[in-house]
Chains A and B, each alone.
Chain A
Amino acid sequence: MRVLLVEDETDLAQSILDYLKNTQKFNCDVAYNLEKATELCVLYEYDCLIIDIGLPDGNGLDLIKSSKANHSKTGIIIISARDAIEDRIKGLNLGADDYLVKPFHLSELNARIYSLVRRLRFDGNSVFVVNEISIDPQSREVKINGKAIELTKSEYDILYYFMSNKNQVISKTSLAESLVGEYVDILNSLDFVYLHIKNLRKKLTAAGCTDYIKTVYGVGYKFQVE
């Protein structure tokens, strides 16, 4: 699995690389400008591109165009401070798979890459397994030790988010945002996250699953599998 990160902010690029290395065993390259990125795209065939649109020497949208022309199976995620809807539509029309607005949560980016890569690699047919938990993203079926359990949509989303960010501390905010969507900044109502996690925990342990969900006081949660 080979990922190229195109981001002109070196500090941000470093954070993303570090986070991805922590959670996923990717072969990750980084380019700080369009020229380098184009060169790397010619040299290697990437499974996934993470592209910042506003680059010092050009528009990242051009890279999407050229890479889609050459390797149509490459997954593309746009990250940009430009939250203009036109850019988003333009990017998605050019063949980008996803769009994240800066500043985003690393855990959110990670979860998006995870979904995208799984979809591309296994055509979405694979079952996502962590120890005794297995999730079928296609049918949204969750099994513990081979036995199916019934989860609500929110609980399923939380579990999926946890599993793609396993062993990472996840802030309540990022979890809430991934659940409710981009317009939400109801930080004082984060209790709803707690409520759903409590229910999820109950259902998982009732089915004989180890309680992997740890509370990190004042911050959020951690899905600890090690």
Chain B
Amino acid sequence: MKLLSKTSLLFITISILIFMFGNIFIFTLSKKMISNHVDTELVYQMHRVIKVINEQKVQNHPIWFTDEVEIKTVSKSINHNPVFTDTVLYNNIQKKFVPHRSLRFIYPLPTQNLSVSIYKSLMSSDKLIERITISTIIMVVIFISMIFIMNRFVFERVWSDFFRNLKKLEHYDVKSHEKLELDPSEIEEFNTLNKVHMRMVERIQDDFISLKELTANTSHEIQTPLAIIKSKAELLLQAQNLDENQLQSIGVILNTTERLSKLSQSLLLISKIENNQFGASQAINIKEILEKFINNYQILFEGGSFELKVELADLKVKMNPVLLDVLVSNLLKNAVTHGTEAGQIQILVKEKELHVGNSGEPLKINSDDLFKRFVKESTNKNSSGLGLEIIRKIGDFYGFNVRYNYHNQLHWFIVDFSNISLNI
């Protein structure tokens, strides 16, 4: 629920509740006041009636003052204090029952008593209450809608800075190298919020950068010690009096060092892509790059370990040549590394897409995880688990899509170059 809807809803509910109780209060209050007033008038009437009876010395005959006074003779034994009652009488003019307030009292005479009832129509006072209620309700509705409109207006004024900055935050990428700039506001709380946000983002960015630097530096610094280990192992291999076991151990050292070095080079490459350390893009024809690599790898296919199917077409893209090399070589490397023996490798260029496929068993892992760092399908120790991550990073960098599917017993990796392709 939006902030505005939430506050408006709360506001309306609370005001309706308040005004409802207010209206009930006003209604009962005015009703009470009017009935008090009526009662006072009735008492006044009572005194007048008593006065008239006294003056006329009425003893046996009831006297009709008006329609509203009713006098009956009752036996001497009936006697009580004046009582107020609500009742309904038939009005001959209006031809309907009308609510009345009545006051009944006993006027004592020597032989008998007079029971006098005075009636007062409540019709006009009921109308009054009705009018009051309706006009208060109308006022309340006008009042609530006025406040509601005002509230919206004020809301938009007051929160506009907040929403503008919220939008900026929403579109801000911590990985970008830009600094987060939030607009200052007249409202102190928003300024504090901005400061807190900017400080937090700065810290996250610092952490992010230092993490990247750590990876890059470690990968870089590790190369020299690895070079030393490798060179010493290679020298050891040349010793004359080694037996087969020793030779093999040295061979393992050499291969393992090799793997470690490749791994750190790949990590270095990833951090370089992330840090945008590759130079400008150029127009390159993917077909030429593919031909170069297929030619380079020809030696792998000569022996007949793979059946190679190539369908190339001209596809010009705007990309950094080194990154395109890395992309293509990693795709081919992936196909060669994971392709089954005597299986197929297909390299196709069609409709601004590069398809590289290799035969193999269906994946056991989730295909979404395939591009993640160090997620490996095979237990093949020669697979670094970084190749596809590199491919994806390059894709992210240029904003093109790399997808995977399994079709006809072939694993396909499809790179969609359409957003950076050029017309030939």
Identify the A interface with B (CB < 8 A): 9, 11-12, 15-16, 18-19, 22, 81-86, 102-107, 152, 154, 168-169, 171, 173-174, 179-181, 183-189, 191-192, 195-196, 216-220
Q: Which residue of B lies closest to A186 (CB)?
A: B336
Known contacts being A19-B234, A103-B230, is A192 close to B300, with CB within 8 Å? yes
Contact of A168 among B238, B296, B337 (CB under 8 A): B238
Q: Chain B contacts of A187 at CB under 8 A?
A: 255, 258-259, 382
Would you call B373 an interface residue if the criterion is a C-beta within 8 Å of the partner chain's C-beta atoms? no
Besides A173-B258, A191-B303, 19 more A-B contacts (Cβ < 8 Å) are A15-B231, A15-B234, A16-B231, A18-B235, A19-B231, A19-B234, A83-B265, A103-B231, A103-B257, A152-B302, A171-B254, A180-B297, A183-B326, A184-B333, A189-B336, A192-B302, A216-B247, A217-B244, A218-B252
Would you call B117 an interface residue if the criterion is a C-beta within 8 Å of the partner chain's C-beta atoms? no
- Whether B238 and A85, one on each chain, are in contact in the complex, defined by CB atoms closer than 8 angstroms, is no
Docked CA distance A107–B262 (Å): 18
Known contacts being A154-B302, A173-B254, is A12 close to B329, with CB within 8 Å? no
- Sample 23 A-B pairs with CB under 8 A, ordered by A number: A11-B232, A15-B235, A81-B220, A81-B227, A102-B223, A102-B224, A103-B231, A103-B257, A103-B261, A104-B227, A106-B234, A169-B237, A171-B251, A174-B234, A183-B293, A184-B297, A185-B258, A185-B333, A186-B300, A188-B380, A192-B303, A218-B244, A218-B247
Count contacts between A and B, CB distance < 8 Å: 138
Docked CA distance A82–B223 (Å): 9
Contact of A171 among B234, B261, B299, B302 (CB under 8 A): B234
- Whether A181 and B296, one on each chain, are in contact in the complex, defined by CB atoms closer than 8 angstroms, is yes
Question: Closest CB of chain A to B70's CB: distance in Å?
Answer: 117
Docked CA distance A168–B296 (Å): 26
Q: Chain A contacts of B297 at CB under 8 A?
A: 180, 184
Question: Closest CB of chain A to B236's CB: distance in Å?
Answer: 9
Known contacts being A81-B223, A168-B238, A187-B259, is A12 close to B337, with CB within 8 Å? no
Question: Closest CB of chain B to A16's CB: distance in Å?
Answer: 7
Would you call B122 an interface residue if the criterion is a C-beta within 8 Å of the partner chain's C-beta atoms? no
Q: Chain A contacts of B326 at CB under 8 A?
A: 183
User: 4 closest A-B pairs (Cβ-Cβ)?
Assistant: A103-B227, A15-B231, A219-B251, A218-B248
Would you call B312 an interface residue if the criterion is a C-beta within 8 Å of the partner chain's C-beta atoms? no
Question: Closest CB of chain B to A14's CB: distance in Å?
Answer: 9
- Whether A217 and B220, one on each chain, are in contact in the complex, defined by CB atoms closer than 8 angstroms, is no
Q: Which residue of A lies closest to B268 (CB)?
A: A83
Known contacts being A105-B230, A191-B305, is A19 close to B382, with CB within 8 Å? no
Q: Chain A contacts of B365 at CB under 8 A?
A: none
- Whether A12 and B300, one on each chain, are in contact in the complex, defined by CB atoms closer than 8 angstroms, is no
- Whether B322 and A85, one on each chain, are in contact in the complex, defined by CB atoms closer than 8 angstroms, is yes
Would you call B228 an interface residue if the criterion is a C-beta within 8 Å of the partner chain's C-beta atoms? yes
Would you call B250 an interface residue if the criterion is a C-beta within 8 Å of the partner chain's C-beta atoms? yes
Q: Which residue of A lies closest to B384 (CB)?
A: A185
Q: List CB contacts (< 8 Å) of B276-334 with chain A.
A: 277, 279, 293, 296-297, 299-300, 302-303, 305, 322, 325-326, 329, 333
Docked CA distance A107–B234 (Å): 8
Contact of A183 among B220, B237, B333 (CB under 8 A): B333
Question: Closest CB of chain B to A33's CB: distance in Å?
Answer: 15
Would you call B69 an interface residue if the criterion is a C-beta within 8 Å of the partner chain's C-beta atoms? no
Would you call B26 an interface residue if the criterion is a C-beta within 8 Å of the partner chain's C-beta atoms? no
Contact of B232 among A15, A183, A185, A195 (CB under 8 A): A15
Question: Closest CB of chain B to A169's CB: distance in Å?
Answer: 4
Q: Chain B contacts of A189 at CB under 8 A?
A: 300, 305, 336-337
Contact of B248 among A19, A86, A192, A217 (CB under 8 A): A217
- Whether B234 and A192, one on each chain, are in contact in the complex, defined by CB atoms closer than 8 angstroms, is no
Q: Chain B contacts of A104 at CB under 8 A?
A: 227, 230
Would you call B226 an interface residue if the criterion is a C-beta within 8 Å of the partner chain's C-beta atoms? yes
Known contacts being A103-B261, A218-B248, is A12 close to B228, with CB within 8 Å? yes
Question: Closest CB of chain A to B332's CB: distance in Å?
Answer: 9
B165-204 vs A, Cβ < 8 Å mask (1 yes, 0 no): 0000000000000000000000000000000000000000
Contact of A103 among B223, B251, B380 (CB under 8 A): B223
Question: Closest CB of chain A to B289's CB: distance in Å?
Answer: 11
Known contacts being A186-B336, A219-B248, is A180 close to B299, with CB within 8 Å? yes
Question: Closest CB of chain B to A147's CB: distance in Å?
Answer: 25
Question: Closest CB of chain A to B222's CB: distance in Å?
Answer: 9
Docked CA distance A31–B78 (Å): 139
Docked CA distance A154–B394 (Å): 32
Docked CA distance A184–B384 (Å): 13
- Whether A196 and B299, one on each chain, are in contact in the complex, defined by CB atoms closer than 8 angstroms, is yes
Question: Closest CB of chain A to B188's CB: distance in Å?
Answer: 49
